[in-house]
Structure 1
């Protein structure tokens, strides 16, 4: 009887461990940082940058939207620029190592 209980307990713990392992990658991906720097030029501040951005976060260029005029993506992540400050309208993809000359108000980074 002891062996049966111990076996069931071990199976339950292993099963819970597998469930936790399956959930971990989704949570870990949400908290991962890209490496590198995203440079952009706006009318008020001149050249600005975002260093090692967190994947999935929305970064606004500032209080006044559509002031960023160009961007250079020197990160290892894909940057998507948006025409509004909330990462919702008219996204344009900027792959790693590329430059964009489309005005934008916010940017979000993703692994692909």
Structure 2
């Protein structure tokens, strides 16, 4: 899917709806802002299945954390590093399908 939008200023955060899309979330996206491209990094993923949502959080240092309030309570579990997982593997998490990808400036 391609859609070109030119921004007047760089957004701090962008959330992309991936519900019912058969696409892999990119680890980064480039946005045309004025006369240059600005890179936003993947920072969060929301998944749905079994009647509730779960998430993955990616920290600035590339750590990938899993959170499911039902099973992990108030803590997140470290899964590894974002560079060690493919974009295809980010599409599903523990049997749940991705519904939202969140990108932020570095």
Q: Which has the higher contact order (CA 8 A, sep 6+)?
A: 2
Query: How high is the TM-score relative to the length of structure 2?
Result: 0.29
TM-score normalised according to structure 1 size: 0.28
More helix by share: 1
- Which of the two has greater strand per residue? 2
Q: Which structure: larger Rg?
A: 1
